[in-house]
Every structure is written in C-alpha cells, then in structure tokens.
Amino acid sequence: DFGALVRSRRSVRQFTGGPLPDGCLQRAAELAAHSPSACNRSGARVWVAHDAALRERVLRLQDGHQGYADQASAIAVITANTAVFHTGGERNQAWIDGGLFAMTFIYALHEQGLGCCCLNWAVTPAVDRAFKRLTGLPAHEAVVMLLAIGVPPEHYTVAHSPRRPLSEVLQTLEPAR
C-alpha cells in the first residue's frame, strides 16, 4: 500500500552501525531508475561510500549531520548528469530529476526496513570541487544531496514534523483576470 509506505517513512537519525543487508542498495537503485525524468533522459545516479574513512571525509565537507550520520553504514551521493541537458532553459532540470530519483530511492530503502536521513548539499563551489576531487566524481555530475543510510534500531526517536493541512497544499489555478 503506497499510502501506508509514504505515511510511515521518517527521517532516521539513529542507526545500529551494522552492515546493510545484501542487495538492498541494488534493489533501491533499480527501483529509483524507474523515476520520471525530463524527456526520459534518466541522468540521475547514486554513488555509495561504504568505507568508514571516506564516509568521515565526505561528512566533513557536508557539515550538517552532527550527531548521527557518522553512525550510518553508508553515505549515498545522489547526482544528476548535467551533460544530458542541452539548453539554458534546462539549467535546473538536473536537480528536479535528481530529486525525483532521490525520493524513489528513499522510499525503496524504507520499503526494505532501512533508515535514511537526507543531508543537504548547500555548499560553495569550492567545497563542491573539493568533494569531487576527494571522491573522483566527474565534473558533469551535479551533487543533488547526500543520504545517511543504515539499519535503524528497534526503537528510535524521530523529530515531530507536522505537515501542512491539505487546504494549504492542494490549490486550484484560476485564469488571470
């Protein structure tokens, strides 16, 4: 039931530190590959850091995860290949397509009982270049976001994030007068 899946997903900020189940990232990536994209270009990718030392160096550049992401079993980097977009009018499409891909990847992780927390990538161009040097990401890959991924403990705390009422979310367009 998609509704139950969506309503039950939460950002997980506590992890056991245990290994991820075999094949879980492959399943999530395979499902995310079915996400919508502009003109079906499918330029989004997920790159995963399993190595503890690399995860630590990556997280130092992200700088918004204190207290939980270092417990994750993996750090995923969602990117979009900017080379698949050709005009100035498509300048933001990489982040839209990457966001759709990330959403599907997140739901696919949740469906498997894994936890994750979105880590923003609000950095300067210099930090972005340093990140790409550190990880070997090609220059044409736009970093959309990072995800801390892990096995959640049986009981964990989640932040209370009230959702806006439907009357504020669903709006009707009217012709301009």
What's the confidence (pLDDT) of residue 89? Answer: 81
Q: Report which residue type is found at 173.
A: L
40: pLDDT strictly greater than 80? no
Terminal-residue alpha carbon distance, the chain: 42
What's the confidence (pLDDT) of residue 86? Answer: 80
What's the confidence (pLDDT) of residue 39? Answer: 77
Reference 118, options 144, 139, 137, 96; nearest CA is 144
Tokens found for residue 148? 């801390």
* Model confidence, pTM: 0.92
**What does residue 15 show for φ and ψ, rounded to 5 degrees?**
-135, 155
The DSSP 8-state label assigned to residue 129 in this structure reads H
Q: What is the pLDDT of residues 86-141, one digit of tens each?
A: 888 878 888 999 999 999 999 999 999 999 999 999 999 999 999 999 999 999 99
Q: What is the pLDDT of residues 70-81, one digit of tens each?
A: 889 999 999 999
Q: How many CA atoms lie within 13 A of 30 on its CB side?
A: 5
CA 131 – CA 166 distance, rounded (Å): 39
Mean pLDDT across 161-166: 90
